[in-house]
Structure 1
Amino acid sequence: MGRRQELAEVRRMLSVSRMVTLTGVGGVGKTRLATRSATTLRRAFPDGVWLVELAYLEKPELLITLVMEAMEIRDHSSRPPLEVLVGHLRDKQALVVLDNCEHLLYECAVLAETLLRSAPELRILATSRQILGIAGEQTLTLPPLSLDSGGTRTAVRAPATSDAVQLFTERAQAVVPEFTVTQENQETVEGICRRLDGLPLAIELAAVRLRVLSVQQLLERIDDRFRLLTGGSRAVLPRHQTLRALIDWSYTLCTERERALWARASVFSGGLDLEAAEEVCSGDGITGAEVVELIAALVEKSIFTREEYPGTVRFRLLETIRQYGRERLAESGRTAEIQRRHRDHYRALAAEARVRLFGADQVAWLGRLQMEHANLRTALEYCLSDPAEVRVGLGMGADLLYHWITSYYLAEGRRWMDRALASDTGPSEVRARALWSNSWLAIIQADPDAAAAMLEESKAIGEKLGLEPVLGYVAVFSGMIAMVRDDTETAIALYEDAVRRHTSTGDPVGRALALIRLSLAQSFLGDSALAISIGEEGIAVCDAYGEGWHRSYTMMALGVEVWRQGDAARATKMEQESLRFNRSLDDPLGIGVNLEVLAWIAATERQYARAARLLGIAETVWKAVGAPLSGYGHLAHYHDECVDDTRRVLGPAAYLAEFEQGSDLRYEDGLAYGLEEPAPAAAASQGTGGSSPLTPRETEIARLVAQGARNKGIAATLVISQRTVEGHIEHIMNKLGFNSRAQIAAWVREQEHGAGAGSSG
C-alpha cells in the first residue's frame, strides 16, 4: 500500500550509510515502512534481518538483552551481554531494525555506535520520533500519506487511488466487505483522509467506525476525532489502539517546557515563525531565548514540521497534533491568555505593515501578510467574538486595507469590516478610519451608496474630533463616488482638497492616492497638460519612498492620458510597465485595468483582433474581481467605445471568436499576451525537452509540486497568492487531463527524463 518512493529512498540510503533513522509524527507509519523495507532487503543481508521491538521495554538496562532475544542469541556464559552481542555480529552482514527508539534515545544511540564500530558489515535501520544523533546517521522524515491520486486520468474520472484513500479502502473492506470508493462517495472519503492529515493510524481507526457509521456520518463526526477514533486492532500496541493514546505517548516523551510550548503553539493557524513563537509562547517558565531550543526539540520529536520559505523558516503542526495541543492548553486554563497574546502579535504585525507598506519593502510585506492570512483571520475572530475587543479588531481590519485590496480577499475584508462596524458604533478615530477604509472596499465592489453612507459618518467623526488625516481620505473616496456619478467637477474639487490635506499632514500614501485620481479626472475633462503634470508629481512622490504599488497605478493613469494624446507606443510601454508590477504582486484589480487600457490602445491602432482578445482576457479577470472596471467606472465609456468599434470592424462572429480565445486563455498566457512576451508554451517546452502545453509559470509550479511543495510554500516561493497557486494547479490539471498532484509530479519526472535522454543521444 503506497510508500513506493519512501521504500526506494530507504534502500538507497542503506546502500550509502550504515545507520538510517526513520522519523515522523506518531501514527505516520514508521514501523510499517521499516518492516516492509527489511522484508524487501532480506536478500542483501545473508546473515539475516532482525526486528527488535522496543515499544514495550520500560527498563533501559534490558535493551541489550532484548536485542539478543530478538536475534535468537543464546549465551550461558558470564560475559557481559554487550560483549556477547558484539562478538556475535562482528563478522556478520546483517540488518538490525530498532523499532520505536524515542523513549530510549540515549541507550539506543550508544548501542548503535558501539555495534557499528565493532561490526563493519552491519547496517542499522531505526524508527524514532527523534533522531539518535550519532555520527554517520542519515535520516528520512516520513510525511503523512499522499492525499493525491496517481495513474492516468481517463475520459470518465475514476475513483481516486491516493495512498491515503487506498489505505482507508483496505481497512474499510476488512469491516464492511462490500465497501468500495465510488463516484458518489469519493469526495467524502477524500475529505475524511484530508481531515485526518493523511495519518495512517488515524485513517485505520476511522475506517473501523464504518461498522456503525456511513462515510458521510463519519466525516460529520471527524472533528471529535479523539473520542471517535478508538477501537483499533488488539494485535497492535495499546497506544496504537486509539489516536489519543498514541499522541499521549508523544506527549509523555516531551519535557514539561516542550509540552507547554506545544500547547501554546496550538493557537496558531497555518503555521508560525520563530518571531511569533518567541512572542506568543514565552513566559511563565519559558524565556524568549529558550523558545528556539524548544522548537528545535519539538521538530526533532516530529511534533513540529519545519517548512522553508525564501528568507525565513516556518513551523507547522498537523491539525490532529494541533487539536490535541488545544485540549492540553484548555486543561491548563490558559487558553484565553495565549489567544490574547496571539491576537496582540498579529495586531502589531498588521499595524507595522500599514506603516511599512509605502516603501521599498512593500512587496515583501504584502507577501508576508498573505503568508499569515490564516493567523490574521484567527486574530480577527478573537477580537470580534468579545465585545470588549471589537474596537481592536476594527483597527486591525483597517490596518489590513491594502492586504484586502491587493489580493483575492477583498470580499472577506469587507465582511470583517462590516461585522466590526456593526458591533462598535461609538465615535472614535478608529471607527472613522475603519469607515473610510471600508468605503474603498465598497467602491471596488460597485456599491457606491453604501460607501457614501460610511464616508458621511466618517466625515462627521473627523470634523467632531479634528482628525485631519481622516478628512483627507474621506475627500479622496468621496471624489471616487462623484466620478462614478458623473460629477467630475465635484470630484476634482474633492481630490484637490485631499491633496492639500495629505500634503499638510505629511502623508505620502494619501497624497499619492489622491494624485492618481486627480490625474485621471483631469484627463477625463480633457486637460492633458495638467493630467500629465499631476501624474508626474505622483511618480515623484512614489519614487522618493521607493514605492511600487501606487506608482504602478499612477503609470496606468498616465498611460491613459498619453494614449488620449495619440502616442500609442509610449502609452503601451507605460501600461505594460504597470502590468509587470501588478503581475509580480498578483493584484487582480490593477491587472484588469491594465488589460483594458491595452485593449483600447490596440483598437485605436487598428489592431482589432488583438483588442478583442485583450477584452476577453480582461473579462476573465473582472469575473475574479467581481465587478468590471472595479473602482474606475468613469472609464467605462472607453470600454464601450472599444467594444463597439472592434465589433463593427471585425463583425460579430469574428469579434466573438477572438474574444472567446482571450477569455479561454490561461491566466499567465493572457498576461503574457498583454505584455507581448514570447509564447509561454514554447518557452516552457525548452525546459522540458518536448512540446509542453504549460506556460513558464505553470511549468515552474509543476516542478515545485513534483518536489513535494504545498500550495502555501509555492505561493511564498513565487511571491504570489495561495489562491493563484490553486488556480494554476487547476489549469495544469485541466490542460494535462489529470486529477491529482501525484500525476503532475509523475509527468514532470517523465518530461525531465525525456529531456535528459534527448540530450544524451
Structure 2
Amino acid sequence: MMSPESILATLDPLALTSSSTPVRREQTLADTIRWRYQLLTDAEPALMRRMAAFPAGADIKHIDEVCRPREDLGLDLINGIGRLVEHSLIVSDDAHGAPRFRMLETIREFSVRRLDESPESDEIRNRHTATFLAFLESVNPHLEGPDPARWMDILEVENVNIQTAFDHAVATGDAEAAQRIVALAWRFWQTRGHLVAGAAAARAALALDGSPLIIRARAIDAAGSIAYWMGDSAMTRSHYEKAVTLRKEAGITDGLARALYNLSFPVSDEDGVEASAALLDEALALASDAGDRQLTVLLHMSLSRSWLRESPEQAIKHADDAIAGSDEDGDPITAAWALNLRGVAHHIAGNDRAATADIKHALGVFLSLGDLSGIAVQLTCLAEIARTTGDDESALFLVGGVKSLRGATGLGINTAIDDTLREFTPATNIAALCDHLVAAHDRGFAADLDEVTSVALAWEPPIG
C-alpha cells in the first residue's frame, strides 16, 4: 500500500511532445489522456471519473467520502490514487501540511465527460454537496474561536468546492442544502472579500422553497448580514425584520436573540437609541435565559454602537464590557470590533490619541486574521481621525486605499469614506481637490494593501 508521502514522491506532470499546430497539440493531448486512461485497470477508471466532481481537487478525507472506493469499488483509496499519479492523471499540492490531489484542467474536462455519461453522476454530485455541507458544519464553530484565521484559510482552499456544492444544490432544487450553505458560509464570504458572490448565492437560495422554517430563517439572517456589509441599508433591514417575524410567527426561539441583535443595527441607525434598546433588552433576556455568554458579549457591542452619538461615555463602558468578555472567551474577532467601537467613541469624545491606539490595535488583529472587511473599516476610521486633526494628505491616502479595497471586495459599509470626501469637497469630486491631495489619494488607490496598512499603523495624530 502506498502512503501519501510515497505518492508525492512519484509526481510527474503530464509531459507532451510539441506539435506544429494548436489543433495537432490539442489532438495529441486528448489522445495521450485517452491512452493513459485506457491503461487503468479494474475500478481505477471509476475512481478517476468520480474525482472529477472536485473542480479544485480535494484531500484524502473528502475523496474517500465522495468516491467511496473501498465500499463501492473494492479499491484501496491510497493504492488507487497512487495509480492515477503514476499515469500522470492527477497531481498533488500541499495545503496546510496535508496532500491534496487534483486533475489538470484538460484531464478534468475529459473526466467530467465520463462522469456526465455515467448513471452515477447525480449520486456522486449529491455526495459532493453533502460532504462540503458537513465540512462547513464542522468548521463553522471555529470561526468564532481562538484561531479563526487558520479556519478561514482552510475555507479559502475549499472555496471552489463549496461554490460547486452550492451550485448543484440550486440546480437540483435542494432548498435546504442551498440555504444551509449560505447560512454557514456568509461570514467567510464577508471576511475574505467574496461579498458579491455571497449576495448572489443568498438570492438564489432564498428563491427556492421547501426548506424547514428554521433553515430558511438562518439563510435570511445571512442575507441580511451580507447586505449590511455591502452597505445596502434597505435590504439589510428588510431581511433582518423577516428573520425576526418568521421566528416569532412560527414560535421558533432558536436564533431569535441573535436575530433581534442583528435588527438592532439598522434600527439604531434609522430610529434611534430607544428603539434599538428595546430590541436589545429583549435579546439580552433571551440570551441570559439560554446562558448564551457569547451573545451577551455581542449585545454589549451593539449597545456601545447605539450610544456612540448620544453618550460616548456609555459607549466606552459597553465596549469595555465586550472587550473583557471576548478576551475571557478567547474570541479575537469580537474583541477587535469592540476595540473599534471604543476607538470611535474616544474620537467622538475628543480623545484622538486613545482613539488611534484602539483602532490601530484592532487593525493589527484584523490583519493577522486576513479579515478584509475589518481592515477596511479600521482604515476608514483612521482616515476620518486624520482629516479631523488636520492631516489631509494622510487622510486622502487612506481614503484611496479603502476605495481600492472596497472595489475588490464588494464592501459597501464604509459610508464614512464618502462623508470624509464630502468634507473636502461637497461634490465628492477628487479632481476638485488641490494637486497634492489628488496625488495623495491616487497613491493610496494604487498602493497595495501592505503599503496602505503600514502607513496606517505608523500614523499618529498631531500633538496639541
Q: Structure 2-normalised TM-score?
A: 0.86
2:351 is matched with which residue: 530, 549, 567? 567
Tell me what 2:445 maps to: 663
Q: Which residue of 1 aligns with 2:455?
A: 673
Which residue, out of 482, 486, 499, partners 2:267?
482
Q: Distance in 1 between matches of 2:425 and 2:276?
A: 28
Give the Å deviation of 1:653. 4.2
The answer (yes or no) to whether the contact 1:555–1:578 under 8 Å persists in 2 is: yes
- Is 2:377 the partner of 1:596? no
How far apart in 2 are the matches of 1:490 and 1:523?
Answer: 15
Q: In structure 2, what is the Cα distance between the partners aligned to 1:332 and 1:609? A: 63
CA contact (8 A) 2:264 2:279 kept: yes
Match in the other structure for 2:135: 349
Question: 1:398 offset after TM fit, Å?
Answer: 0.8
Determine if contact 1:538/1:551 at 8 Å carries over to the other structure.
yes
Q: Which AA in structure 1 matches 2:24?
A: L
Query: How do residues 275-286 of structure 1 correspond to structure 2 at under 5 angstroms?
Result: 275-282=61-68, 283-286=70-73
CA apart distance, 1:617: 2.2
Amino acid at match of 2:353: A
**Aligned ranges for residues 27-176 of structure 1 at < 5 Å?**
28-29=15-16, 32=17, 171-172=20-21
1:294 aligns with 2:80: yes
CA distance in 1, matches of 2:411, 2:95: 34
Taking the aligned partners of 1:23 and 1:366, their CA distance within structure 2 comes to: 29
Alignment pair present for 1:639 and 2:420 = yes
What's the secondary structure of 2:207's corresponding residue?
Answer: helix
Q: CA deviation at 1:562?
A: 2.3
Query: C-alpha displacement at 1:507, in angstroms?
Result: 4.0
Deviations 1:731-750 (CA, angstroms, capped at 9, x unpaired): xxxxxxxxxxxxxxxxxxxx
- Name the counterpart of 1:205: 24
8 A Cα contact 1:278 1:291, kept in partner: yes
Q: Secondary structure at the match of 1:423?
A: coil
Match of 2:32 among 246, 255, 260: 246
Alignment CA distance shift 1:606-1:449 (3 Å)? closer
2:222 aligns with 437
CA distance in 2, matches of 1:365, 1:568: 35
When residues 626 and 264 of structure 1 are mapped into structure 2, their CA distance, relative to the original with a 3 A threshold, is closer
For the structure 1 residues 601 and 25, does the alpha-carbon distance in structure 2 shift closer, same or farther, using more than 3 Å as the test?
A: closer
CA distance in 2 between counterparts of 1:617 and 1:390 reads: 39
Q: Distance in 2 between matches of 1:542 and 1:292?
A: 43
Structure with more of its chain in helix, by fraction? 2
Equivalence for 2:330 = 546
Structure 1 residues 302 and 507: alpha-carbon distance in aligned structure 2, compared to 1, 3 A threshold: farther
Q: Distance in 2 between matches of 1:247 and 1:636?
A: 54
CA 1:617–1:248 in structure 2 vs 1: closer, same or farther (change >3 Å)?
closer
- Length, aligned pairs only: 446
Unaligned runs of 5+ in 2: 1-8, 460-464
The Cα of 1:594 is off from its aligned counterpart by: 0.5
The letter for the 2-side match of 1:671 is T
Q: Percent identity?
A: 24
Q: Please tell me whether residue 306 in structure 1 is matched to residue 92 in structure 2.
A: yes
The residue that corresponds to 1:64 in the other structure is none
- The answer as to whether partners of 2:10 and 2:86 remain within 8 angstroms in 1 is no
Letter of the structure 1 residue corresponding to residue 275 of structure 2: T
* Inter-CA distance 516–23: structure 2 relative to 1 (3 Å threshold): closer
Q: Any residues of structure 2 matched to 1:145-544 within 5 Å, and which?
A: 171-172=20-21, 203-205=22-24, 230=27, 240=28, 243-282=29-68, 283-286=70-73, 290-387=76-173, 389-424=174-209, 428-485=213-270, 487-508=272-293, 510-528=295-313, 530-544=314-328
CA distance in 2, matches of 1:342, 1:426: 20
The 1:260–1:553 alpha-carbon spacing in structure 2 relative to 1, beyond 3 Å, is same
- Structure index of larger Rg: 1
What amino acid sits opposite 2:123 in the alignment? E
Per the alignment, do residues 425 and 449 of structure 1 end up closer, same or farther by CA in structure 2, a change over 3 Å counting?
Answer: farther
Q: Deviations over 1:699-738 (max 9, x none)?
A: xxxxxxxxxxxxxxxxxxxxxxxxxxxxxxxxxxxxxxxx
User: In the alignment, what sits opposite 2:395?
Assistant: 611
Cα distance in 2 for residues equivalent to 1:366 and 1:262: 29
**Deviation digits for residues 201-254 of structure 1 (CA, Å, limit 9, x no counterpart):** xx4526xxxxxxxxxxxxxxxxxxxxxx55xxxxxxxxx5xx444223212322
How far residue 581 of structure 1 moved from its aligned partner, in angstroms, is 2.3
Specify which of 396, 401, 406 is matched with residue 622 of structure 1.
Answer: 406
Shift in Å, 1:527:
4.0
Structure 2: distance between partners of 1:314 and 1:22: 14
The TM-score, its normalising length taken from structure 1, stands at: 0.54
In the alignment, the residues of structure 1 paired with residue 20 and residue 243 of structure 2 have an alpha-carbon distance, to the nearest angstrom, of 61
Q: Any stretches of 5+ residues in structure 1 without a counterpart? A: 1-20, 33-166, 173-202, 207-228, 231-239, 678-761
Query: Match of 2:444, as an amino acid?
Result: G
Q: Hey, what's the Cα distance between the residues in 2 that align with 1:553 and 1:303? A: 47
1:556 CA displacement? 1.0
In 2: Cα distance, 1:332 partner to 1:557 partner: 56
Does the CA-based 8 Å contact 1:329-1:335 persist in structure 2? yes
Q: Secondary structure at the match of 2:237?
A: helix
The answer as to whether partners of 1:629 and 1:636 remain within 8 angstroms in 2 is no
Q: Relative contact order: is structure 1 or structure 2 higher (C-alpha 8 Å, sep ≥ 6)?
A: 2
- Partners in 2 of 1:651 and 1:323 — Cα distance? 53
Pairwise CA distance, 1:652: 4.0
Deviation at 1:417, TM superposition (A): 1.2
User: How much does 1:428 deviate?
Assistant: 0.6
Task: Quote the Cα distance in structure 1 between the aligned partners of 2:421 and 2:117.
Answer: 63
- Cα distance between partner residues in 2 of 1:486 and 1:469: 26
Q: Read off the aligned partner of 2:43 and give its amino acid letter.
A: R
Instruction: Quote the Cα distance in structure 1 between the aligned partners of 2:291 and 2:422.
Output: 40
2:5 alignment counterpart? none
Distance (Å, rounded) in 1 between the aligned partners of 2:445 and 2:114: 52
SS at 1:256 equivalent: coil
CA separation in 2, counterparts of 1:533 and 1:477? Answer: 21
RMSD: 3.0
